[in-house]
Amino acid sequence: MDKNINIKVKIWRQRSPKEKGFFETYNLENISQGSSFLEMLDILNEKLINEGKEPVVFDHDCREGICGMCSLYINGHPHGPDEDVTTCQLHMRKFHDGETITVEPWRSAGFPVIRDLMVNRSAFDEIMQAGGYVSVNTGGVPDANSTPIAKDKAEMAMDAAACIGCGACVATCKNGSAMLFVSAKVSQLALLPQGRIEAARRAKAMVAKMDELGFGNCTNTGACEQECPKSISITNIARLNREFLSAKFKD
Amino acid sequence: MTTINSKIPEGQLAEKWSNYKAHQKLVNPANKRRLDIIVVGTGLAGASAAASLGEMGFKVLNFCIQDSPRRAHSIAAQGGINAAKNYQNDGDSVYRLFYDTIKGGDYRARESNVHRLAEVSNSIIDQCVAQGVPFAREYGGLLDNRSFGGAQVSRTFYARGQTGQQLLLGAYSALSRAVNKKQVKLYTRYEMVDLVIIDERARGIIARNLVTGKLERFAAHAVVICTGGYGNTFFLSTNAMASNGSAALQCYRKGAYFANPCMAQIHPTCIPVHGEFQSKLTLMSESLRNDGRIWVPKKLEDAKAIREGKLNPTDIKEGDRDYYLERRYPAFGNLVPRDVASRAAKERCDAGFGVGNTGLAVYLDFADAINRLGKKVVEEKYGNLFQMYEKIVDDNPYETPMMIYPAIHYTMGGIWVDYELMTSIPGLFAAGEANFSDHGANRLGASALMQGLADGYFVLPYTIQNYLSDQIGVPRFSTDSPEFEAAEKAVSDKLTRLMNIKGKHSVDSIHKKLGHIMWDYVGMARDAEGLKTAIGKIEELKKDFWTNLRIPGNKDDQNVELEKALRLADFIEMGELMARDALNRNESCGGHFRVEYQTPEGEALRDDEHYSYVSCWEYQGENKAPVMYKEPLDYEFVKRQTRNYKS
């Protein structure tokens, strides 16, 4: 049964990318465990505004775990201690009375801090622009049922396509690698006949862009898979490596 | 007297769109390069329009308020997308999809628009599959379908419970490709704050850079608004936190008509409200009604015992359960349209049969489905939804029934557009949920995705050329013109005015008050007295807002509270407009239910003689009542009937 709890939240505050950041600790009383983590932050911000202070800036939008906007590093884990959820789906019942909760932004070379807990993830858009698509224009495409696709292939493609682009994989990786994100898109499209045609070109272009934007290399620690709110599997990384190597051999 | 010209093409219903395309004006490739188009929003409508227009050769500027186009709230649509493919051989056709949509909308949509929507629906599925959208498939490798509310065929294509996500990622992919080819320039974390009009045509926007707080000017030959609906007027809704109606209201204040503002959809299957700090409501997909059965206890004392925690739902014997939708609507059962299902839930709860600790909930039970299909099949179909429910409520829906209650979800009303999706301002277009065009008084499930993509991929890319064809001689605009100067100054003055209120209350605290007024008086059941009360209360709240608001920080800097304040100022205006429109419409139709107008059985009582029109509201200035014009809805091809989901 959900209770009300008293907590301390230790939050990273940073005014701008260039200024130095610091932790500030706030006390919150009578927080319902039925509240979501972000509702707890709403309560904190309401309190700060009423005290004439500046609220904590953080990214969030759909609050149902699908838009990928929320991005908090809570008690050492991206999206917090619960499994298979985004920060917005995390509930206060995962915390106990008297606990101190540490909240940080994603920390990675690829994602510079904008303010407080908000970071710039436009690098993911740039990687997508480098090749994360099937090159078809609108119109003039064949009937949807003209190419049957085996159910298991379609399901595997869907597993990879479930990535929400939040960046938890990068945030948790000691190398700051974006391989799980890139491999999910490469796998989804390589598994389907529609995307197969450009698979090699896509893998090369997306990996090159990822390297260019300062993301690190993958050393197979598997942390990304552990922390991914959508359980994207690292077998996708193996598939990306295969695509990438075979493309290189052909060159 | 202003007459509304909706520019519906001549000819038989099924020939109108072909005739239009055959005779419309086009822009040749060399001239497309010289024409700029601003697209505001990157949801299904915005991303598909921006990508398609870019591919065609126009220079497109595309704006979104989030950090990436992929975050737009279309991403959260769960259930599916309709199309008239008839892959299931169950009697579907373009005409039937058209008819179901018109009937579902309670005969308050334009026949010609809806027929066009049904016609292009099949191309959408083809397009998405070509992009690599992983729709659900049968073992034979062909596409699978499911059924949805308001239809007797299975025409809904889906990708698990994440169809909106997959369709949006498809459109986002196409958009990313267009950005890579320099056909589209992307502006993320930018919010449109005003429309710029030069010589009575839409020629650009003022946008606020949400990271720096600076106002910036952008000029173009045409502006397309794809910014979604205004459901967040209610504070608690299934919309995303930042979803807002401000771009639409900016256009309204510049002269675009606002159509049918009172038409808002209350979705029957949302997770019930849990407490006063709740920030938003979570939808449980309508697809769950395929296999879930909705019920409340038959006996008042059982309902009371459940509310007090003395009984569990599983303690209630089969004979003591009231499957009220199956009882009232035998032909459609749990798959009646959303407005009907929502009102039926409210009726049972108001009568004292509601469950949950608040009494504002009904059960959605999967026990039968699990017995019939097995847990594994149910998990395959709805696993992610069940997981989402469990994380929020801390209850396992495989073992105890889910609790659901209606919540505001979608707005059928929006910026008025003609057949070409052009608003009453030349050069200003609106697509997707932001326009009013296709859903009448109620939208059917799995039709929002269809309409967003229809507008963006297959309608706007044609119709916008008809407008732009006579603009080819117009050179690019300078943003130094007096019109841009004046528009930016007006926005800057408004921001200063907001910052200078220096009151004591946060934006959210005032927004919550607006939400209560809307839910209590402009919600699922409306009456004249209540709507008048709402208008009075909203006026008071407006004063409260402009005297007691507190915004920390500065205006020329990143300032989330200021962003929210700008949106709330518009929601307050929107709320008033919704109430006015609801008060004007002395009938019940679709999502608009006036308690004075109902049948003895409690069903909506439409008045085709007096209210068969689109109400088009024109702004008259601050603190002045808007004027309403009527666009008559002439039903040439379909005979209007009382909606019947009973037999």
CA distance B91 to B96: 8
Q: Do B404 and B273 form a contact (C-beta atoms < 8 A)? A: no
ipTM: 0.98
B501 lies in the same domain as B605: yes
- What average pLDDT score do residues B215-224 get? 98
Q: Which of the four pLDDT bands, split at 50, 70 and 90, describes residue B645?
A: confident
Task: Kindly name the residue from B338, B343, B348, B643 that is annotated as catalytic.
Answer: B338
Residue B610: give its domain's CATH number: 1.20.58.100
Q: Give Cα B306 distance to the centre of its chain.
A: 35
Strands B222-225 and B36-40 turn out to be parallel
Mean pLDDT of chain B: 95
- What average pLDDT score do residues B594-613 get? 94
Q: Is residue B86 part of a domain?
A: no
The pLDDT value given to residue B121: 98
Q: Which residue has the higher pLDDT, B402 or B391?
A: B402
B384: pLDDT strictly greater than 90: no
Q: Is residue B64 part of a domain?
A: no
Residue A42: give its domain's CATH number: 3.10.20.30
B132 vs A50, A165, A195: nearest CB:
A195
Contacts of B179 in chain A (CB under 8 A): 125, 129
User: To the nearest whole percent, how much of chain A has pLDDT over 90?
Assistant: 96
Q: Cα distance from A217 to chain B (closest Cα, Å)?
A: 24
CB burial of B569-587 (b: ≥16 within 10 Å; e: otherwise) equals bbbbbbbbbbbbbbbebeb
Q: Of A96, A115, A134, at which residue does a domain stop?
A: A115
- Tens digit of each residue's pLDDT (9 = 90 or more) over B399-423: 999 999 999 999 999 999 999 999 9
Using CA atoms, how far residue B133 sits from A52, A68, A127, B130, B448, in Å, is: 48, 19, 19, 7, 17
Using CA atoms, how far residue B281 sits from A64, A116, B113, B293, B413, in Å, is: 9, 26, 32, 21, 21
Q: Cα distance from A25 to chain B (closest Cα, Å)?
A: 20
Q: Of B387, B408, B429, at which residue does a domain stop?
A: B408
CA distance B353 to B357: 12
A89 lies in the same domain as A131: no
* Domain hosting residue B559, numbered range: 482-632
B165: pLDDT strictly greater than 80: yes
Which amino acid is located at B516 in the chain?
H
CA-based radius of gyration for chain B: 24
A160 lies in the same domain as A84: no
Measured distance between the N- and C-terminal CA atoms of chain B, rounded to whole angstroms: 44
A44 lies in the same domain as A129: no
Residue B326: give its domain's CATH number: 3.90.700.10
CA distance B82 to A84: 30
CA distance A41 to B354: 31
A176 lies in the same domain as A75: no
User: To the nearest whole percent, how much of chain B has pLDDT over 90?
Assistant: 90
A125 lies in the same domain as A154: yes
Taking the Cβ of residue B270 and every Cβ of chain A, the question of whether any pair is shorter than 8 Å is answered with no
CA distance B452 to A3: 43
Residue A192: give its domain's CATH number: 1.10.1060.10
Establish whether B338 is a catalytic residue: yes
Contacts of B166 in chain A (CB under 8 A): 158, 161
Q: Of A115, A135, A169, at which residue does a domain stop?
A: A115
B173 vs A38, A82, A133: nearest CB:
A133
Mean pLDDT of chain A: 96
Q: Is residue B299 part of a domain?
A: yes
Q: Of A98, A115, A132, at which residue does a domain stop?
A: A115
Interface of A with B in 175-194 (CB under 8 A): 188-189, 192, 194
Burial (CB count within 10 angstroms: exposed 0-12, middle 13-18, buried 19+), residue B195: buried
B374 lies in the same domain as B505: no
* Domain hosting residue A27, numbered range: 4-115
The pLDDT value given to residue A1: 66
- What average pLDDT score do residues B514-518 get? 97
The pLDDT value given to residue B16: 98
A141 lies in the same domain as A244: yes
- Tens digit of each residue's pLDDT (9 = 90 or more) over A125-181: 999 999 999 999 999 999 999 999 999 999 999 999 999 999 999 999 999 999 999
The pLDDT value given to residue B278: 87
CA distance B349 to B325: 14
Total of domains in chain B: 2
The pLDDT value given to residue B275: 78
Helical pair A122-131 and A199-212, crossing angle rounded to 10 deg: 150
- Tens digit of each residue's pLDDT (9 = 90 or more) over B423-438: 999 999 999 999 999 9
Which tokens go with B432?
């997707």
Q: Around Cβ A136, how many Cβ atoms within 10 Å?
A: 17
B387 lies in the same domain as B511: no
Contacts of B561 in chain A (CB under 8 A): 49, 55
Which tokens go with B351?
């009568």
* pTM of the shown model: 0.97
Q: Which of the four pLDDT bands, split at 50, 70 and 90, describes residue B3?
A: confident
Taking the Cβ of residue A61 and every Cβ of chain B, the question of whether any pair is shorter than 8 Å is answered with yes
A187 lies in the same domain as A127: yes
B513 lies in the same domain as B628: yes
Contacts of A137 in chain B (CB under 8 A): 52, 55
Look up residue B186 and give its DSSP letter. Answer: E
Q: Is residue B528 part of a domain?
A: yes
B223: pLDDT strictly greater than 70: yes
Taking the Cβ of residue B474 and every Cβ of chain A, the question of whether any pair is shorter than 8 Å is answered with no
The pLDDT value given to residue B432: 98
CA distance B549 to B562: 10
Angle at B449 between CA B443 and CA B454, to 5 degrees: 100
A246 lies in the same domain as A130: yes
Residue whose entry in the numeric block shows the structure tokens 């925690």:
B309
- Tens digit of each residue's pLDDT (9 = 90 or more) over B70-123: 999 999 998 899 999 999 999 999 999 999 999 999 999 999 999 999 999 999
Contact assignment for A42 to B137 by CB distance below 8 Å: no
A223 lies in the same domain as A179: yes
Contacts of B134 in chain A (CB under 8 A): 154-155, 157-158, 161, 188, 192
CA distance B177 to B109: 35
A160 lies in the same domain as A106: no
Q: Give Cα B218 distance to the centre of its chain.
A: 27
Q: Do A148 and B140 form a contact (C-beta atoms < 8 A)? A: yes
Q: Which residues contact A125 (CB under 8 A, 6 or more apart)?
A: B68, B69, B70, B176, B179, B186, B188
Q: For chain B, what's the residue count?
A: 647
The pLDDT value given to residue A2: 80
- Tens digit of each residue's pLDDT (9 = 90 or more) over B109-135: 999 999 999 999 999 999 999 999 999
- What average pLDDT score do residues B437-458 get? 96
Look up residue B145 and give its DSSP letter. Answer: -
Q: Is residue B34 part of a domain?
A: no
Q: Around Cβ B91, how many Cβ atoms within 10 Å?
A: 9
Which tokens go with A229?
């709110």
- What average pLDDT score do residues A3-11 get? 97
CA distance A120 to A32: 32
A58 lies in the same domain as A108: yes
Q: Is residue B342 part of a domain?
A: yes
Question: DSSP per residue over B53-112, as a string?
Answer: HHHHT-EEEEE-SSSSGGGSGGGG--S-EE----TT-SS--HHHHHHHHHHHTTT-S-HH
Which tokens go with B618?
């024109």
CA distance B225 to B129: 26
Residue whose entry in the numeric block shows the structure tokens 């199956």:
B326
Q: Which of the four pLDDT bands, split at 50, 70 and 90, describes residue B1?
A: low
Q: Of B353, B384, B408, at which residue does a domain stop?
A: B408
- What average pLDDT score do residues A78-93 get? 96
Does an H or E element contain B344, and which? Answer: helix B338-348
DSSP β-bridge partners for residue A104: A73
Total of domains in chain A: 2
B601: pLDDT strictly greater than 90: no
Q: Is residue B286 part of a domain?
A: yes
Is B262 strand, coil or helix? coil
Dihedral angle computed from the Cα positions of residues A27, A29, A35 and A37, in that order, rounded to the nearest 10 degrees: 10
Q: Is residue B97 part of a domain?
A: no
CA-nearest of B139, B203, B133 to B165 is: B133
B525 lies in the same domain as B626: yes
Q: Of B408, B435, B459, at which residue does a domain stop?
A: B408
DSSP β-bridge partners for residue B321: B297
CA-based radius of gyration for chain A: 20
B505 lies in the same domain as B366: no
Please state the φ and ψ torsions of residue A216, each to the nearest 5 degrees: -80, 180
A98 lies in the same domain as A137: no
